[in-house]
Chains A and B, each alone.
Chain A
Amino acid sequence: MTGTNHLPSQASTHPSAQPLLQVKNLKKYFPIQKGFFRHVLGNVRAVDDVSFFIHEGETLALVGESGCGKTTTSRCILRALTPTSGQMLFGTPDATRVDLAKLTRQELRPLRPQMQLIFQDPYSSLNPRMTLFDIVGEPLLVNGMTNRRERVERVAELLRLVGLRPEFMQRYPHAFSGGQRQRIGIARALALHPRLVVADEPISALDVSVQAQILNLMLDLQKRMNLTYLFVAHNLSVVKHISARVAVMYVGKIVETAETTELFALPKHPYTAALLAAVPVPDPRVKTGSVELKGEVPSPANPPSGCYFHPRCEFAVDVCRREAPAYRERSPGHFVACHRADELKLPGIA
């Protein structure tokens, strides 16, 4: 059994350094259209005024239930989607900051290698007709490494990095298990020395006994290469394990952001507390589910008034129904969007 080796804890506050990525008031609306002339009836507010930052070498997790906009946010950052409004300031190596939201396709081109994606499904994200060499080598070829021998060397190096044997280079994805395929996906994402890696549910499609391997690999690679992760997930246990800070999303908005241990131990938003209480703990002596969250997640096309969480919140008061709470820093590094954040004592998980 491998010993648990402690990674250096990440400082969450870099008072001097600029964040690698700073997202300000990001919005992405999808219009609801009808009829031949496609007149717009309304908007699905998939991402509705989201702000956060990620420092270099840090992992920020974006958690939430399905439909909360976490994937849309990550796709906006990668500019797979063009945001409706907002800023996404990305620090380039020469210390200038560019707004990813404003750039054209041509202007984005040199920045693309710096932002890479690890996909959720290792089965559909690898082309079954390409060998490992083609898959991992394609980003290199596209970005100008035309010498085949150089490419072979780099692909071999990458495969070793993710714990695969370089001899596998000529094989096709079907010869590999889910965990190995995810390693291939990670090798491809790392081929161009990205500075920001967006991992969208990278382990939720894997078997339980393999998940830990991929998590450890991601932690090790981060330590060795000083990678920055935006980790999108719905599983709080996994998030606790990998991230330095966590942002909780609900119906297109971030409701709470804090350092991982603080968020789990001292949640300040009732939704975060309910989410924590809902995780089934693998211990029959600890009965979970004491706090039951009633009702359903509202539709982002037709959200409730005031705070979007008020219809399900047991602490809701009048002001929650009328006004949307401001997303403010309540204690250093702990941002909450709740009218009653300061007065509520919510149960957390140690």
Chain B
Amino acid sequence: MNHATPLLSVHNLQVQFFMDEGIVQAVDGVSFDVFPRQVFGIVGESGCGKSVTMKAILQILEPPGRIVKGEILLNRNGSTIDLAKLNPNGKEMRDIRGAQIALIPQEPMSSFSPVHTVGDQIIEAIRLHQPVHARAARQIALEMFRDVGIPMPEQRLDEYAWQLSGGLRQRAMIAMALSCHPRLLIADEPTTAIDVTTQAQILRLLRKLQEEHHTAIIFITHDLGVIAQMADYVQVMYLGLVMEEGPVDAIFHAPKHPYTQALLRSIPSVHSTPRVNLPTISGSIPHPFNRPSGCPFHPRCPQFIAGKCDKHIPPLRSVGGVQAAACVLYHDVEVPR
């Protein structure tokens, strides 16, 4: 995997929100590579910057937010292009969005227009990126609907988003995202708003489609169960920083960072003994305006070292060969970027 050229390569991405009250450092130097056919998982709690990273890649950050530093290199037919330098409203960026990189948003309800039929919206997306006539586009949309397992696809194409159930709506969204054969799919909490049994269907579908279309997926979620089942490689974020990254097995079976360790211990599991107190992480996530100095996790960290953790932000260092953690507990070599 490491010898292949990455499809998307993010280097030291920094995103800030310029608010009246001050500057919020939403993403603070995040780097990662996504390889073809890989499912790259980003896991983190609210305010960790996982969604902002995704929006920065697609250049759809809302106004007070801006990319202040970093590169987002997309490999396109052998040449690389820096998305961070493109005009968010320019033709080039609009050509990439949807065609090269597609998005499955969290809430399919608010992502579809309620006054256009689902079919019309997908046909519009297809015709934006492919030189086909309306009738051919409808045929493509129909095939996509069949692919994602929507029953009675002809009928569903002419329905509105509010006529579909949550699961069907999310399937339609996936059909729309895949309709232009993107090479990278960003799934931002695609199953958070839906029920467990439907969630299992959607996750299975995403896996199947990924294998068929060889798409790379960036899978963003706060649910550790979902990430364990879906991702090949995982990055754990906390308050805009990467705490730990590595292959999924290493993250779940040999977590190195105290935050990852504590998080894995604290989640209730269907395998746990009932009515036993869970180990907890003390405190709560700080407000982004008063981010702690040094390592952002230090006020809640059980292994906090005074004078060290609160002074410097530890860089991401290679630990145990396959993974990397940003913690002063590990004094190995810095991960070569």
Q: Which residues in A have some Cβ–Cβ distance to B below 8 Å?
A: 1-2, 4-7, 9-10, 65-66, 177-180, 207-213, 215-216, 219-220, 234-238, 240-244, 260-261, 264, 274-285, 287-289, 292-294, 296-297, 349-350
> 3 tightest CB-CB pairs across the interface, nearest first?
A280-B225, A65-B195, A278-B200
Task: Tell me the minimal C-beta distance from A302 to chain B in angstroms.
Answer: 13
Q: Closest A-chain residue to B238, C-beta based?
A: A209
List the A side residues contacting B201 at CB < 8 Å: 292-294
Query: Which residues on B sit within 8 Å (CB–CB) of A4?
Result: 276-279
Is the beta-carbon distance between A234 and B284 smaller than 8 angstroms? no
* Distance of A291 from chain B, by nearest CB (Å): 9
Assess the B269–A281 pair: CB atoms within 8 A: yes
A-B contact pairs, 6 of them (CB 8 A): A2-B279, A209-B262, A211-B268, A237-B268, A282-B224, A282-B227
How far, in whole Å, are A279 and B252 apart by their CA atoms in the complex?
Answer: 17
Q: Is the CB of B225 within 8 A of A281?
A: yes
Task: Decide if A281 touches B275 in the complex (CB within 8 Å).
Answer: no
Kindly identify which residue among B275, B276, B280 contacts A244, using a CB–CB cutoff of 8 Å. B275
Residues of A contacting B272 in the complex (Cβ-Cβ under 8 angstroms)? 237, 240-241
Beyond contacts A10-B275, A237-B272, A288-B225: 5 other A-B pairs, Cβ-Cβ < 8 A, are: A210-B285, A216-B277, A241-B274, A244-B274, A296-B198
Task: Find out whether the CB atom of B279 lies under 8 angstroms from the CB atom of A179.
Answer: no
Nearest chain B residue, comparing its CB with the CB of A210: B284
Residues on A with beta carbons closer than 8 Å to the beta carbon of B270: 236-237, 240, 264, 276, 279, 281, 349
Point out the residues of chain A lying under 8 angstroms from B248, CB to CB. Answer: 284
Q: How many residues of B contact A (CB 8 A)?
A: 53
- Chain A min CB distance to B184 (Å): 22
CB-nearest residue of chain A relative to B224?
A: A282
Q: In the complex where A177-B285, A274-B197, A278-B197 touch, is A349 in contact with B279 (Cβ < 8 A)?
A: no
Partner of B204, one of A243, A279, A292: A292
* Chain B contacts for A65, CB-based, 8 A: 195-198
B305 on interface, CB distance cutoff 8 Å: no
B174 to chain A, nearest CB (A): 16
* Closest residue on chain A to residue B276 by CB atoms: A4
A208 & B229 in contact (Cβ 8 Å cutoff)? no
Decide: B195 and A234 in contact? CB cutoff 8 A.
Answer: yes
B267 within 8 A of A: yes
A296 to B198 CA separation, bound complex (whole angstroms): 8
Point out the residues of chain B lying under 8 angstroms from A296, CB to CB: 165, 167-168, 198
Measured in the bound complex, the distance between the Cα atoms of B223 and A261 in whole Å is: 24
Given known A-B contacts A209-B262, A289-B203, A216 and B229 have beta carbons under 8 A apart: no
- Most chain B beta-carbon contacts within 10 A, residue among A65, A282, A350: A282
Identify the closest chain B residue to A7 (Cβ).
B275
A282-B264 contact given A177-B285, A210-B284, A289-B203, CB 8 Å threshold: yes
List B residues 45-78 near A (Cβ within 8 Å).
45-46
A317 CB to nearest B CB, Å:
22
In the assembled complex, B328 has its CB within 8 A of some CB on chain A: no
Given A10-B275, A241-B274, also A212-B228 (CB < 8 A): no
A211 to B284, CA, bound (A): 10
What separation, in Å, do the CA atoms of A289 and B264 have in the docked complex? 21
Which B residues lie within 8 Å of A234 (CB)?
A: 195-196
Complex Cα distance A277/B268, Å? 16
Are B274 and A260 interface neighbours, CB within 8 A? Answer: yes
The interface centre, meaning the residue of B167, B199, B284, B302 with most chain A CB atoms within 10 A of its CB, is: B284
**B249 in the interface, Cβ–Cβ < 8 Å?**
yes
Residues of A within 8 A of B282 (CB): 213
Q: Could you say which residues of chain B place their CB within 8 Å of the CB of A260?
A: 274-275
Instruction: Please indicate the chain B residues that have their CB under 8 angstroms from the CB of A6 in the complex.
Output: 276
Q: Is the CB–CB distance between A212 and B281 below 8 Å?
A: yes
Minimum C-beta distance from A289 to chain B (A)? 5
- Inside 8 A of A215's CB, which chain B residues have their CB? 268, 278
B271 touches which one: A10, A178, A293, A349 (CB < 8 A)?
A349
Q: How far apart sit A177 and B288, CA to CA, in the bound complex (Å)? A: 12
Bound-state Cα–Cα, A275 to B265, Å: 23
Q: Which residue of B lies closest to A299 (CB)?
A: B165
Q: Say whether, besides A207-B284, A207-B285, A284 and B197 are in contact (CB < 8 Å).
A: no
Whether the Cβ atoms of B197 and A216 lie closer than 8 Å is no
A5 / chain B contacts, CB cutoff of 8 Å: 276-277
| A178: contacting residue among B204, B231, B265, B284, CB under 8 A | B284
Q: Considering the chains assembled together, what is the distance between the CA atoms of A345 and B279 in angstroms?
A: 34
State the CA gap A242–B253 with chains docked (Å). 25
A7 to B196, CA, bound (A): 29
Interface centre among B167, B270, B271 (most CB of A within 10 A): B270
| Residue B222 is within 8 A (CB to CB) of chain A in the complex | yes
A243 to B204, CA, bound (A): 30
- Do B284 and A284 have beta carbons less than 8 Å apart? no
Knowing A220-B277, A279-B270, A296-B165, say if A209 contacts B285 (CB, 8 Å): yes
Q: Which of B242-296 contact A (CB under 8 A)?
A: 248-249, 252-253, 262-272, 274-282, 284-285, 287
Shortest C-beta distance, B145 to chain A (Å), equals 16
